[in-house]
Structure 1
Amino acid sequence: MSGLFDLAGRTAVVTGARRGIGRAMAVALAAAGADIIGVSATLESSGSAVEHEVRALGRRFVGIACDFADRGAVVALGERLAGDPVDILVNNAGTILRAPAAEHPLEWFDRVVEINLASQFVLTQAVGRGMIERGGGKVIFTASLLTFQGGVTVPGYAAAKSGIGGLTKALANEWSPLGVNVNAIAPGYIATDNTQALREDENRSSAILSRIPAGRWGRPDDLAGATVFLASAASDYVDGVVLPVDGGWLGR
């Protein structure tokens, strides 16, 4: 049974790998045997914390910096990665900007949608072509609870993450018959930089915790098992799924 989760000999690209959820995903995949290409806007080409963790597990690591708000840079990244046999693509790069919808700057909306949705398709299209040609591959998007809900003061983020749910299903419909599994993970409220403002707001933090049956904020490492599952042979018959890892939030 353990062989179902063995990623030895696989190469995984993880975007947003410098910290938080992406870093935890990269380390989890490395622990399962995969070599890692980490990508983030400010990722060091060498010497990063995630590189040290991956190499400590005996796996290879390549670090690439890419601004996902820059369409040209993402296209260039896709062309670069298209030359390598990428087995697993984890689309985790993202951002969030908070302001009430009536005053939400249009440039904020555009930036969030570009980073969290459009760039995800641009990169997946480029890498996915190689997976289709080889007849196999795993694509994992990072969705959100706001793939299912609307949120408050984050219209761009909610729109983009809802779009990720639709994109996951659309690509799965086309690529599953070609041997490429496309799925998504929807993290709950995880203690990362993106949720720092919520955790520091005593009222919001208390309201959030009161709804989580698990009784705590999630940790980036809580995403490890779902990531390895969706990247491995254990999920070969799983397609178009948005898998919540949320401490029970959506079931409340």
Structure 2
Amino acid sequence: MSLLDARGGTTWVGRRNPVAKVAATVPLSIALLLTLDPVSAGTAIVLEVVLFWAAGLGSLVWSPRTAVVWIAGPLAGVSMLLYGRTGGTVYFEWGLIQVSQGSIEIGLSTAARVIAIALPAVVLFLTIDPTDFADGLSQTLRLPERFVLGALGALRLVGLFMDDWRALALARRARGVGDRWIVPRLAGQAFGLLVLSIRRGSKLATAMEARGFGADVARTHAREVHFGGAEVALIAIGALAAAVCVAVAVASGSWNFVVA
């Protein structure tokens, strides 16, 4: 079984056009960006979990690859809890930190909104093969071939980041500079990864240019990409989920229109 199959690439959602997968997340993201309340975001999270389990992607929701979503959401909520706009009863105050009824509501809403927006994007992106995504951008959206090929090359290099990070950690430790305090150690290692990425990207760009990938000519495609009724249905499901979240928030009186 291939890695993409393990990520749900053979499910009904996994077989859809990658452009449709990305488009399906847009209505929900727009709806959640227009409001900051825990009801709409909480409803979105419940709907996402249920829909992903029904689509056979439930294992991805709680996989290590989506752990960053479940970590980033609470962290964003904590920052708003401590430094967000105060209102109502103040429960704790120390220097610039104020924990009040209003900041608690904002913190919960922010955490839920971050998770609700990021979770479908990460889960659906895990089911996308970079080559299929490039074919979708080129054949469905008719984007310039030069841009599509550059994006494909960049996506192919993303998987090397973790390998480079581990190699840099071992190399720095072998040189005796990997046992310092964690903050300067991570900062130095991150800078090394940046330099390595720039060098690899430059070499890749030169190699692709030498092979004619940058030529402004009409190109053929080995695989034809289809965009049919199933893709429209997937986008409709995303739009319906967004409508349900908005309706529940408005009905409960928690809808808080913002542009953020």
Q: TM-score, normalised by structure 2?
A: 0.22
Largest Rg, 1 or 2: 2
Larger RCO (alpha carbons 8 Å, 6+ apart): 2
Q: TM-score, normalised by structure 1?
A: 0.22
The structure with more helix, counted as a fraction of residues: 2
The structure with more strand, counted as a fraction of residues: 1
